Amino acid sequence: MEYRKLGISELELSTITYGAFAIGGNMWGGNEKKDSIDSIHASIDHCVTTIDTAPFYGFGLSEEMIGEALKSHDRSKVQLLTKFGLVWDGSSNGKGDFFFDADDNGKKVPVYKYSSKENVIKEIEESLKRLKTDYIDLLQIHWPDSTTPISETMEAVDTLIQQGKIRTFGVSNYSIPQIQEAQKTVQIASNQVAYSMLNRKIETDLIPFTAAENIGIIAYSPMERGLLTGKYFIDSKLKENDHRNGYFGQFDLQKVKTLVEELSSLANTKHISISQLVLRWTTLQKGISIVLAGARNAEQAISNAKTMDFDLSVSELEFINQAISKLK
């Protein structure tokens, strides 16, 4: 495994970081608790030291399972990344930005982006309890909330830093102007944003800005929620309550299928999986600090961890980039 410093912070994170969205179950067609916890153990056992989660993932379930799994590991050797700002339990009382209706076992649950000072403090106390820890290594605002001044949110964050409840702070899904406003109050270590072979929008403006400001980029959805594994093209049946039924519709699936087939030929010659090839390519892109990789069982977790066991040559990168260019 390779470890990288996150922006201007003192955090050293595993380049492949365990992404815990899917194990929460909601929006992913459910989950298997034992498999999920086994995947966390397997990741740590294979040198993945960093875990990224959020209260919204499984409405607290993801954090709870991580807390349970970490009871048998040395907390000081694991970096916990979590978030705040997505409220689903009605505690915002209708305040904040309405985001969408999430599915909870067939029941619609309204989700709001809400980051008032009071709510930030409340959420962190709840996360600490679920994670069974007394500090968070990297706290992140999940999504911008247009109804709360950024300065108010950052004041709450600064208080948490002073209290020792968080080591450092990052944002997620923030624009350049939003980062600049947040920086007036709190030092920003990172911005967690969507980035993949199919979505490279941040390369134009955001990455040059964060590189100049020494702000790390945490890439989420590098596999486009499993689409780039190629499995969808073999068995396209997803559970009815799986959000990917709609999510995949944004892509030209025939072009993606062609890309997957071309990448598979290279993966086969290197005796690696296409998932490992895609993740490794992502880790090598300019400005990317760490890459989130989800796993729903130990086998997937081990495969993700082994991504850093091989390299890609200049000619192999050129082959991959040429294949990606055909998507346009």
**Integer Rg of the chain from CA:** 19
Distance CA 154, CA 178 (A): 11
Calculate the alpha carbon distances from 326 to 64, 258, 259, 269 in Å.
42, 9, 8, 21
CB-CB neighbours of 84 under 10 Å: 27
The domain limits of the chain are: 3-226+285-309
Phi-psi category of 105—alpha, beta or left, where left has phi over 0 and alpha has psi -120 to 50?
Answer: left
Distance CA 186, CA 2 (A): 28
Distance CA 168, CA 155 (A): 14
82 bridge partner residues: 139
**Strand-pair category, 50-52 with 79-84:** parallel
Distance CA 220, CA 290 (A): 9
Distance CA 226, CA 248 (A): 10
Asked whether the beta carbons of 321 and 60 are under 8 A apart, the reply is no
Q: What is the structure's pLDDT at 171? A: 98
Q: What is the structure's pLDDT at 250? A: 77
| Global pTM value | 0.92
Distance CA 1, CA 159 (A): 34
Q: What is the structure's pLDDT at 32? A: 73
CB-CB neighbours of 240 under 10 Å: 8
Distance CA 15, CA 184 (A): 29
Residue 83 phi/psi, 5-degree rounding, is: -140, 180
Question: 154: which residues sit within 8 A by CB, 6+ positions away?
Answer: 182, 184, 185, 186
Residue 52 phi/psi, 5-degree rounding, is: -115, 125
pLDDT in tens, the chain (328 residues): 999 999 999 999 999 999 998 786 565 445 678 888 999 999 999 999 999 999 999 899 999 999 999 999 999 999 999 999 999 877 667 789 998 888 777 778 889 999 999 999 999 999 999 999 999 999 999 999 999 999 999 999 999 999 999 999 999 999 999 999 999 999 999 999 999 999 999 999 999 999 999 999 999 999 888 788 877 767 666 666 676 766 777 778 888 889 999 999 999 999 999 999 999 999 999 999 999 998 889 999 999 999 999 999 999 999 999 999 988 7
Distance CA 119, CA 117 (A): 5
Coil, helix or strand at residue 120: helix
Give catalytic status of residue 114 as yes or no. Answer: no
The top-level CATH class assigned to 3-226+285-309 is: alpha beta
Coil, helix or strand at residue 190: strand
Asked whether the beta carbons of 61 and 36 are under 8 A apart, the reply is no
Catalytic hit among 3, 18, 57, 247: 57
Distance CA 304, CA 79 (A): 17
What are the residue ranges of helices labelled H in 248-297? 253-270, 274-283
Of 46, 67, 70, nearest to 57 (Cα)? 67
